[in-house]
Structure 1
Amino acid sequence: MNTATGGGGGAVLEELDREECLRLITPGGVGRVAFNDGEGPAVIPVNYVVDDGTVVFRTDLSSRLSKALSTALAGAQVRIAFEVDRFDEARHEGWSVLLRGGARQLSEDESAAAAPVEPWPGGERGAHIRMIPAEISGRRVHH
């Protein structure tokens, strides 16, 4: 891990290695998916789990994300970015992890075998998406 001091009241900006990034996001929760929806960049929040070093989340089959992924050739991956962060605004501390890589919709058999994801919103979330990170980076600000 590399560190660099900043000018904000003694706060330190630290670059995180891959292992620390994965440790921080492994509990799951809410992250944001960035993708091209055909009209340009889009970012949406999703509930996710980490499953064997990959990120799994669910979305509605008719969502823009699901449609963007379904336009790819069968078995092909679409490049997306996925970000998770946690901040304590009162203490001016927190961390952010960014993953970039390929994503694809899982088959019914793959969905059944994947770690379960429980979306917060109601309604059908029939599309299970797996993102395989090619790049993982992160930063933490602390005192």
Structure 2
Amino acid sequence: MTDPADRQTTEDRRAAWADAEASRRSTELDREEALRLLGSVPLGRIVFTQDALPAIRPVNHLLHHGEVIIRTHEGAALATALTRQPDGAGIVVAYEADVIDPATHCGWSVVVTGYCHLVTDPDDLAHYQALLHPWTDHRMEYALRIRPDLVTGLRLSWGEGTGGAAR
């Protein structure tokens, strides 16, 4: 049987934790800052439609002239979907990257939504192959370019007066 005093202590701890969690502030990022942060990390997640359902894959990327570049291999679901598009038409994707500190729960998250196209120009393809090296053992024949039509982001930080900097 639980001692009522122990239960009260647990409830007090939960309330204190909830108050501390609620003291974080969520601030929207402007497009420029969101893209700068996205370009500062090498890994994100691409979201696309596969068989009418959402699919998510972790991929490494680079930001080049404001566009997200990733590489993929023949037979990959996204590459297959793109090669089936008539006249190089792209497909709508979302791309997300973030840095969130697991201890403080502070950091940022950016989502880019736009059309994804195969890179077909041989010079561009060679350029991206030289700049962006795969993290897996697949041979990455394709480079994909995501044009960021919609860029959203948020920063999670300690609210003023919460003492978060000391934590």
Q: Return the TM-score normalized by structure 2.
A: 0.77
> Alpha-carbon deviations, 1:10-58, whole Å to 9, x = none?
2111111101101101124011000012241100000100000000000
Q: Any conservation in 2 of the 1:88–1:94 contact (CA below 8 Å)?
A: yes
Amino acid at match of 1:141: L
Q: Secondary structure at the match of 1:125?
A: coil
Matching residue of 1:98: 111
Contact (CA 8 Å) 1:38, 1:68: kept in 2 or not? no
Aligned counterpart in structure 1 of residue 150 of structure 2, from 135, 139, 143: 135
Partner of 1:49: 62
CA distance in 1 between partners of 2:154 and 2:72 (Å): 28
1:120 matches 2:135: yes
What does residue 67 of structure 1 align with?
Answer: 80
- CA separation in 2, counterparts of 1:40 and 1:110? 31
Could you tell me which residue of structure 2 aligns to residue 110 of structure 1? 124
More helix by share: 2
Query: Number of residue pairs matched?
Result: 138
Q: Which amino acid aligns with 1:112?
A: A
The equivalent residue for 2:46 is: 33
Once the two structures are TM-superposed, the CA of residue 69 in structure 1 deviates from its matched residue by 1.1
Report the secondary structure of 2:96's partner residue.
Answer: strand
Q: Which has the higher strand share?
A: 1
Unaligned residue ranges in structure 1 (runs of 5+): 1-6
One-letter amino acid matched to 1:110: D
TM-score by length of 1: 0.89
Which deviates more, 40-49 or 26-35? 26-35
Paired letter, 1:119:
P
Cα RMSD over matched residues?
A: 1.7
